[in-house]
Amino acid sequence: MTAILVMSAMALVLGIIAWRRSPTLLRGAFRNATLRFIEVLPRIAFAFLAAGFISKIAPADAIGHAIGYDSGLRGILLATLFGGFTPAGPIVSFPIVVVLLASGGGFPQVVAFLTAWSVFAFHRVMIYEAPLLGYRFVAIRLVSSLVLPPLCGVLVWGMMEALALLR
């Protein structure tokens, strides 16, 4: 709810600024926003439909065992591997994260999954980065960021353990 309020406030302020500069600018912004909305809405609908199917097909006990909270560091490393090799954009990956959480995935493991997806995205590396930036650059970037997803998962795990001790 807070995110909706913040985004609404930002849109209102930016709309007022655009209107004060030129009402034509505001109309153009509404036209662009409407076109983007029409373009993205079907993608979001199908992504959530796919996530709904995945949530019914995916064996919750297997997910909980593999990357549940109790899977510890092994689960964090497994989630890191899966996240790096998930060939999808945010419209698909975020519903997958929702399904993982609903199926028993632990917060540290899911954080590692999402971090690996955003940092590594090996499909993107092979299609865009390596051909455009060169293999040496890609190798240096990947090796230097290898520790990030597991580290994020371990930090969340540590925070959750500390909070549990405070209770």
DSSP string over 19-82: HHH-HHHHHHHHHHHHHHHHHHHHHHHHHHHHHHHHHHHS-HHHHHHHHSGGGHHHHHHHHHHH
Q: Please report whether residue 81 resides in a domain.
A: yes
Per-residue tokens: 10: 């930002």
- Which residue from 81, 87, 140 is spatially nearest to 115, judged by alpha carbons? 81
pLDDT by residue for the chain (167 residues), tens digit each?
A: 788 899 999 989 988 998 899 888 888 888 998 999 899 888 888 877 877 777 777 777 788 888 999 999 999 999 999 999 988 888 788 888 888 898 889 999 999 999 999 999 998 999 999 999 999 999 999 999 999 999 999 999 999 999 988 87
Distance CA 112, CA 101 (A): 12
User: What pLDDT sits at residue 56?
Assistant: 77
Contacts of 130 (CB under 8 A, 6+ apart): 138
Q: Please report whether residue 39 resides in a domain.
A: yes
**Does 29 share its domain with 70?**
no
**Does 80 share its domain with 161?**
yes
**Does 18 share its domain with 91?**
no
- Which residue from 88, 82, 77, 81 is spatially nearest to 51, judged by alpha carbons? 88
Distance CA 142, CA 125 (A): 9
CB-CB neighbours of 37 under 10 Å: 10
Residue 37 belongs to domain spanning: 2-45
**Does 85 share its domain with 161?**
yes
| pTM higher than the cut 0.85 | no
Q: Please report whether residue 52 resides in a domain.
A: no
